[in-house]
Amino acid sequence: MAEKLPASLEKLNTEEYLLNMGPQHPSTHGVLRIILKLDGEVIKDVVPVMGYIHRGMEKMFENRKYDQIIPFTDRTDYLSAVNNNFAYVIGVEKLLGVVVPERAEYLRVILAELNRIMSHLLWLSAYGMDVGAFTPLLYIFREREEIIAMFELITGNRLTHNAFRLGGFKYDVPKTFFEKLEKFISHFADNLDEYETLLINNVIFKSRTVGVGVITKALALSYGVSGPSLRGSDIKMDVRRDTPYSAYSKFVFEIPTGKNGDTWDRCEVRMNEMRQSLSILQQAMQGFPQGDIMAKIPKIIKPPAGEVYTAVEGPRGEVGFYIISDGTEKPYRVKMRVPSFSNLSALKDMTVGFKIADVVAIMGSLDLVIPEIDR
C-alpha cells in the first residue's frame, strides 16, 4: 500500500483506526490502557497509557519510618512481595551496616525462590488464559496453592506477606514448613513437565509464540529490559549472579537463556527458571543452618546519612531500591526501580507489525504487573 492512490480511489483505501485495549480488558492484567492503531488486524502503532493506579508510593515512603515501609513494598508488585521486601531490606541493612545471620539469609533465599516459582506459576496460568487455554490455569493453581499455604505457615499472609524484617525474621520457621516444602519439591518437577507438554510444547501455542515479539539483544539492553524477558534475548543477565546478594553466592544454579528473543523463548526461560529455583530450594533446604534468625538491630532505626542502590532478581527482572538517608528516622528519598516499567517501554518495538492476538501474547510474555509500573 505504499504507492499513492489516485484521488478518485482514495476512498477505497482501508481505514486505519484506533482501538482502546484496556483499562478494563480481560488481558491487560490490571488497569493498563493500550491505544492500538490498527489496519484490519495488523498493528501500526502502540501507545501505552498508565497511571490508573498510581498511588504515590515513593512519596509515601518519604513519610514512613524505615521499618514501616516494608509492608508497602509488598503492594507494588503483589505477585513477588518477598522479592520486593528483599530488595528494600538489604538496602537498609547495607546503610545500617547490619550483618544478617546465616539462618535468616537461607530462609530469605528459600522464600524468595518459592516466591519466584509462585509468580511464574501465576504467569504461566495467566498466559494460558491469554492465548486461550483455560484448563492449565486450574491445574497450576493447585501447586500455587501449596506454595501459598507454605507462605501462610511462615508469614501468616497469602499474598502480601510482609515477610522480612530489618535484620532477619521476627519468628523462626515452624517444622511443618519443611515437611510441606519437601513434599512440594518431590512432585513439582513432574507437574512442570506435564504443563510443558500441555501448553508450551503444543503446536498451536508454538505457532502463536515462535517468531512473535522479537526483540534484539542491543535493543533489549537499551530499553533496560531485565529478568526473563532479557534472558530470552540471549543475555546471561541475573542479579543473583552479577552482583550476588544475601546467600546466593553459596548456591549452584544455571541461568537459562533463549536464543531468538521471541515470545516462546521468554516462556521457555521462565519454565527453566522454575526448575533452577527448585534446585536452589533443594540446596538451601539441605544446608539450612542453625542459629539466630534475627540480627541485633537498634530499636529506633536511624541509618547514617548516605545513599545506596540495591537490587535483587525478582520474577520479572531487576527490582531495585535507591534509598537516600539523611540520618533521620525516615528516608529522604526512595526510588523504586521496577522491572515491568522498563519491560513495558519496549512493547512498541516488539509489537508493531504483528496482530491483535499477538499483542496479548507479547504482553503476557513480558509478565507485566501494573501496580508495579504505576507505583
Q: Which of residues 281-310 bind other proteins (CB under 8 A)?
A: 288, 306-309
Report the distance separating Cα 36 and Cα 39, nearest Å: 10
What is the pairing mode between strands 42-49 and 33-39?
Answer: antiparallel
For other proteins, which residue of 22, 168, 228, 232 counts as binding (CB under 8 A)? 22
Of 302 and 333, the one with the shorter C-beta distance to other proteins is 333
For other proteins, which residue of 99, 138, 189, 210 counts as binding (CB under 8 A)? 138
For other proteins, which residue of 78, 102, 153, 294 counts as binding (CB under 8 A)? 153
Total residues contacting other proteins by CB under 8 A comes to 117
Q: Is 71 in the site for other proteins (CB under 8 A)?
A: yes
Report the distance separating Cα 24 and Cα 20, nearest Å: 9
Smallest gap, in angstroms, from Cβ of residue 116 to other proteins?
20
- Edge-first strand order for the sheet with 306-313 is 306-313, 318-325, 333-337
Determine the 3-state secondary structure of 336 from DSSP: strand
* Residues in 238-257 that interact with other proteins by CB under 8 A: 242-243
Query: Which long-range contacts link 203-208 to residues 24+ away (Cβ below 8 Å)?
Result: 205/131, 205/133, 206/264, 208/131, 208/263, 208/357, 208/358, 208/361
CA-closest candidate to residue 230, choices 207, 209, 256, 210: 256
Do 135 and 203 touch, CB atoms closer than 8 A? Answer: no
Report the distance separating Cα 198 and Cα 12, nearest Å: 45
Tell me, what amino acid is at 261? G
Q: Is 81 in the site for other proteins (CB under 8 A)?
A: no
Smallest gap, in angstroms, from Cβ of residue 277 to other proteins?
21
322 strand-pairing partners: 309, 335
Do 36 and 359 touch, CB atoms closer than 8 A? Answer: yes
What is the pairing mode between strands 42-49 and 318-325?
Answer: unpaired
Of 102 and 307, the one with the shorter C-beta distance to other proteins is 307
Q: Is 58 in the site for other proteins (CB under 8 A)?
A: yes
Do 44 and 38 touch, CB atoms closer than 8 A? Answer: yes
For other proteins, which residue of 78, 102, 157, 279 counts as binding (CB under 8 A)? 157
Q: Is 156 in the site for other proteins (CB under 8 A)?
A: yes
For other proteins, which residue of 139, 250, 279, 302 counts as binding (CB under 8 A)? 139
Smallest gap, in angstroms, from Cβ of residue 234 to other proteins?
12
Q: Is 68 in the site for other proteins (CB under 8 A)?
A: yes
Helix axes 135-155, 175-195, angle to 10 degrees: 160
12 strand-pairing partners: none
Q: Is 23 in the site for other proteins (CB under 8 A)?
A: yes
Q: Is 175 in the site for other proteins (CB under 8 A)?
A: yes
CA-closest candidate to residue 126, choices 112, 117, 116, 136: 136
For other proteins, which residue of 2, 9, 203, 252 counts as binding (CB under 8 A)? 203
Smallest gap, in angstroms, from Cβ of residue 237 to other proteins?
6
Q: Is 216 in the site for other proteins (CB under 8 A)?
A: no
Interface region with other proteins, contact rule CB under 8 A, candidates 117-125, 248-256, 273-281, 330-338: 330-338
Interface region with other proteins, contact rule CB under 8 A, candidates 155-163, 250-258, 261-269, 272-280: 155-163
* Residues in 338-367 that interact with other proteins by CB under 8 A: 341-342, 345-346, 355-360
* Residues in 92-111 that interact with other proteins by CB under 8 A: 94
